[in-house]
Amino acid sequence: MARVVVDVMLKPEILDPQGQAVQRALPRLGFEGIADVRQGKRFELEVEGPVDAAALRRIHELAETFLANTVIEDFTVRVEEPAVSEEAPA
Amino acid sequence: MARVVVDVMLKPEILDPQGQAVQRALPRLGFEGIADVRQGKRFELEVEGPVDAAALRRIHELAETFLANTVIEDFTVRVEEPAVSEEAPA
Amino acid sequence: MARVVVDVMLKPEILDPQGQAVQRALPRLGFEGIADVRQGKRFELEVEGPVDAAALRRIHELAETFLANTVIEDFTVRVEEPAVSEEAPA
Amino acid sequence: MARVVVDVMLKPEILDPQGQAVQRALPRLGFEGIADVRQGKRFELEVEGPVDAAALRRIHELAETFLANTVIEDFTVRVEEPAVSEEAPA
């Protein structure tokens, strides 16, 4: 079983008002130096069998049709390497 | 300016009914072989200045307080490498 | 065709950190007097045929299974009256 | 304390691919007769003091600036009547 991650974000030219509200709140909450915040969606797909080029193409198609609205959103598809640690810093 | 990504996902033991609905819809939509779908949130933070250990610790704190509810969600913090291509396969 | 609305909100005892970040940002953005902000999901279902008690029961079931996680979320189901204006104030 | 609800939905002409995926999954999950599903956001604001026309105007402004992107989303503002039961049918 491999994990494929599809990230969906609003296109850069589309305003993200809630991300902006969070960004503007940060100094007051004690967090300086963050110039922009944008919020999107992350989908984790557990795929049976090998994730070869054909499988990735199909997931790309799936993302284009049912996970993202490509008029307003960009998306990326990638296989998550199990070896890469994603832990937050201690 | 560096980009730090915070991914927030429901903990594995917490049911994600919408992800499940999508997963169950897939065979009917022509996509076989996807055993599970989970949906979370992805935050992209544009950080001014160097993203050193101290900056990452502060973003970790921010995520813990204002981006994730750690009772029901896990999160990860990572610096996005500008060199890594995130393009979907052609 | 009738519209049935399903609102899904985190249970009151479950922290909503993003709603909190927005709430705390409000005074700085010039909005005073808002004591709490919570963010949930709204589903609009267009239903064919009459929305009788049996139809509402089925939608209730659907919400319970595929729209909400009832361990952490509450939901409500209601028929949206077409006569009620939902316009924002001028 | 009064509750004001802001509902934010994608404009009707903007495709909602996830709502569509859920809608297409429904027959297979045993739910017939639902022609469309759209998913949006619901914000519940707890307002201190009376919710008069001036307060509603300010919340309308807040929604326009920080809760919705009016290029792609519509929103509505309303005071939630405490007397109205929102319970799902038994």
Given B15, B18, B71, which is nearest C14 (Cβ)? Answer: B71
Mapped to the 3 state alphabet, what secondary structure does chain D carry?
CEEEEEEEEECCCCCCHHHHHHHHHCHHHCCCCEEEEEEEEEEEEEECCCCCHHHHHHHHHHHHHHHCCCCCEEEEEEECCCCCCCCCCC
Sheet holding B34-47, edge to edge: A73-79, A2-10, A34-47, B34-47, B2-10, B73-79
Q: CB of A29 within 8 A of CB of B66?
A: yes
Residue of B nearest to A9 (CA): B42
pLDDT value for C89: 54
Q: CB of B1 within 8 A of CB of B47?
A: yes
C22-32 pLDDT tens trace: 898 888 888 88
Q: Is A18 within 8 Å of D72 when comparing Cβ atoms?
A: no
d(CA B68, CA D86): 28
Interface membership of B89 toward A (CB under 8 Å): yes
Is the pLDDT at C82 greater than 80, yes or no? no
Q: What's the average model confidence in pLDDT over B10-29?
A: 89
pLDDT value for A87: 55
Q: Cβ neighbours of residue B42 under 8 Å, at least 6 residues apart? A: A7, A8, A9, A39, A40, A41, A42, B5, B6, B7, B8
Pinpoint the alpha helices (H) of A1-90. Answer: 17-25, 53-62
What is the Cα Rg of chain A in Å? 16
d(CA B23, CA B28): 10
d(CA B47, CA B43): 12
Given A33, A42, A66, which is nearest B41 (Cβ)? Answer: A42
Confidence of residue D87 (pLDDT cuts 50, 70, 90): low
CA distance C5 to chain A (A): 22
Q: Is C24 within 8 Å of A25 when comparing Cβ atoms?
A: yes
pLDDT value for B21: 86
Residue of A nearest to C28 (CA): A25
Given C37, C49, C56, which is nearest D43 (Cβ)? Answer: C37
Q: Is B21 within 8 Å of D21 when comparing Cβ atoms?
A: yes
Residue of C nearest to A20 (CA): C22
Coil, strand or helix at C12: coil
A contacts of D66 (beta carbons < 8 Å) = 17-18, 20-21
CA distance B53 to chain D (A): 32
Pinpoint the alpha helices (H) of chain C. Answer: 17-25, 53-62
Its pTM stands at 0.86
DSSP state for residue C36 in the 8-state scheme: E
Residue of D nearest to C58 (CA): D31
Is the pLDDT at C84 greater than 50, yes or no? no
C17-61 pLDDT tens trace: 988 888 988 888 888 899 999 999 999 999 998 899 999 999 999
pLDDT value for D45: 96
pLDDT value for B63: 95
Counting beta carbons within 10 angstroms of the beta carbon of residue B52, is it exposed (0 to 12), middle (13 to 18) or buried (19 or more)? exposed
C contacts of B14 (beta carbons < 8 Å) = 69, 71-72
**Domains with residue ranges and CATH for chain C:** 2-80 (3.30.1280.10)
E strand residue ranges, A1-90: 2-10, 34-47, 73-79
CB count, 10 Å around CB of B47?
A: 19
Interface membership of D18 toward A (CB under 8 Å): yes
A38-89 pLDDT tens trace: 999 999 999 998 899 999 999 999 999 999 999 999 999 999 876 444 555 5
d(CA D51, CA C11): 25
Tell which residue, D61, B48, C36, has the closest CA to residue A37.
B48
B33-71 pLDDT tens trace: 999 999 999 999 999 988 999 999 999 999 999 999 999
pLDDT value for C50: 87
Interface membership of B41 toward D (CB under 8 Å): no
CA dihedral A78, A84, A87, A88 (to 10 degrees): -70
pLDDT value for C61: 95
CB count, 10 Å around CB of C58?
A: 16
Rounded to the nearest 5°, which phi and psi values hold at C63?
-60, -40
Q: What's the average model confidence in pLDDT over A13-22?
A: 90
Residue linked to tokens 């939905």: D9
Q: Which residue has the higher pLDDT, D89 or B71?
A: B71
pLDDT value for B49: 86
Question: Which of D11, D15, D20 should be substituted to probe chain A, the one whose Cβ sees the most A Cβ atoms within 10 Å?
Answer: D15
The alpha carbon of B54 is separated from its chain's Cα centroid by a whole number of angstroms, namely: 22
